[in-house]
Amino acid sequence: MSSWWHNALIYQIYPRSFNDSNGDGLGDLPGITAKLDHIADLGADAIWISPFFASPQKDFGYDVSDYCAIHPDYGTMADFDALLAGCHARGLKLMIDIVPSHCSDQHVWFEESRQSCDNPKADWFVWEDPKPDGSEPTNWLSFFGGHAWTWEPRRQQYYLHNFLKEQPNLNYANPEVVEAMLDVCRFWFDKGVDGFRLDAIHTMKADRNLIDNLPVEDFVPGDMPQDKQPFFRQRHDTGQLNQPAIQAFSARLRALADSYGDRFLMGEVHGEDYMQVSDTFTQPGRLHGTYNFGLLAWGGLTPAGLKEALEMAHQHFGASQRLTFALSNHDVPRSLSRMARANAVAPEHYADLQVMLTQMQTSLFSSNCLYQGEELGFVDSDSLTREDMQDPWGIEFYPAFMGRDTCRTPIAWDCEAAHGGFSTAKPWLPVDERHVKQAANAQVGLQGSVYERTKQHLAWRKQQPALLDGDFELLDCPDDMLVFKRASDSQTLICAFNFGAEAQDYAGQLILPYSAAFLPA
């Protein structure tokens, strides 16, 4: 019998922007509970919630100050228990976002560690002496700008942070750190959660390899944000990221998850060769799967780019369930905007394009993540001002790069209510007026809406053996199409997707612009 997560549709929730239950302008856990019927009715199998733990919110929850406490903005532990019960009552699994590589500089672990070189937590973080000239131990850069090392005068040492200086890296060479993080995971498994999305697990540090990063040879600026910051001018596989010692923790965590039964561990990983990285993290006895970045290109993908990404994924993994596909998340512009731009699609065709993108994604092998708002056809917000911005990454590189706020604006639930029904108060980010016109209550039950067409496809998908456990094969097709075959013992389907502005004849079937066809073979 296959695991629940095989071919599951996982609905990602960014809680701060999902639904506000108490009128403070911030989404919260009770707000999610109130909308579970929306998610279950859509046909999702699980939800994944981005961090809601105690945090100073320097990186909006990805800087955790207490892994086993709820930030008051999001509610209480009783609210979480009610949410978990509500999910399970509807047949939904619940995954949460664990941030193992780093915590907040306000976590009690780091507050103690930074005091001296000989306190009980002194070796819980990655501390290094300066070079003889006082400079940083290596040339490593932070993903969010600047150096990856910050000086602590009390210890006369530098500490490592691959992201903000307020997010110090934990030292996984210390067995006490490993046990502490396993205790965190055990706490949530005991609560009854069904799995973890493991944030940036490739950035963990479990060795003392201090080799300088090499430059990217013949660097050519690419899509944002690669051309906006120097981090991407370095290779990071010599010492900074994706070090082999990380896998000892992967194996320990997998053993813990397996002891609870059918639980899912999905690692967010990246690297110069992200397929090789994914393969490493999902070897037997390690993580079940990784979150695949192949379809998340910042500038979108044409059919040729999709074919290249899917061919690479299939060559490395077959239909092994070790990859989870996504077209959007809380860190990249929304899929509809990216893919419309890449394929020169006019706004009047956006609804058709969004439905087709979801049909394409959910017809691939393995599990899928659908980001909140994709089922409503939301585009990326383009009206944010400098005063609106909240994301530290975007603020650092404004105006050349707007960061991640554009995909994090609140969900519109009611086309007649203030702020789209997200909140009775001014939201933390403005609700996009285009989203208000496409609010959930304007689409649910409306034949032909993005929501209803998506719901119909997801219900149909669950009845197709070829899409649930079939082999995968890319097929030859015109340049503006993507066509692949899914074949199981009992069914074969030709899945054809027309990204062009003209109708296409494929295998005797006329396929309209920005639409899909599923042909028996």
pLDDT 10s digit of each residue in the chain, 521 long? 689 999 999 999 999 999 999 999 999 999 999 999 999 999 999 999 999 999 999 999 999 999 999 999 999 999 999 999 999 999 999 999 999 999 999 999 999 999 999 999 999 999 999 999 999 999 999 998 899 999 999 999 999 999 999 999 999 999 999 999 999 999 999 999 999 999 999 999 999 999 999 999 888 876 667 666 789 899 998 889 999 999 999 999 999 999 999 999 999 998 888 899 999 999 999 999 999 889 999 899 999 999 999 999 999 988 788 999 999 999 999 999 999 999 999 999 999 999 999 999 999 999 999 999 999 999 999 989 999 999 998 888 888 888 999 999 999 999 999 999 999 999 999 999 999 999 999 999 999 999 999 999 999 999 999 999 999 999 999 999 999 999 999 999 999 999 999 999 999 999 999 999 999 98
344 inside domain: yes
Q: Could you give the number of structural domains in the chain?
A: 2
Reading the block at residue 304, the tokens are: 């040729």
481 inside domain: yes
41 inside domain: yes
283 inside domain: yes
Residue type, 212: D
**415 lies in the same domain as 345:** yes
**485 lies in the same domain as 420:** no
**CA 386 to CA 399: how far, in whole Å?**
8
Domain of residue 494, residue span: 471-520
Last residue of a domain, one of 410, 437, 460: 460
List the catalytic residues: 199, 268
**CA 15 to CA 13: how far, in whole Å?**
6
**362 lies in the same domain as 476:** no
**CA 391 to CA 389: how far, in whole Å?**
6
> Which CATH number does the domain housing residue 234 bear?
3.20.20.80
**383 lies in the same domain as 276:** yes
Reading the block at residue 500, the tokens are: 């062009």
**208 lies in the same domain as 314:** yes
Measured at the alpha carbon of residue 213, what is the angle toward residues 106 and 154, in degrees to the nearest 5? 35
**508 lies in the same domain as 433:** no
Beta-strand runs (E) in 140-248 = 149-152, 157-160, 195-198
400 inside domain: yes
Distances (CA, A) of 369 to 46, 68, 324, 372: 9, 25, 7, 10
**85 lies in the same domain as 183:** yes
Last residue of a domain, one of 422, 438, 460: 460
Last residue of a domain, one of 436, 460, 484: 460
2 inside domain: no
**327 lies in the same domain as 202:** yes
479 inside domain: yes
1 inside domain: no
**361 lies in the same domain as 426:** yes
Q: How many CB atoms lie within 10 A of CB 324?
A: 24
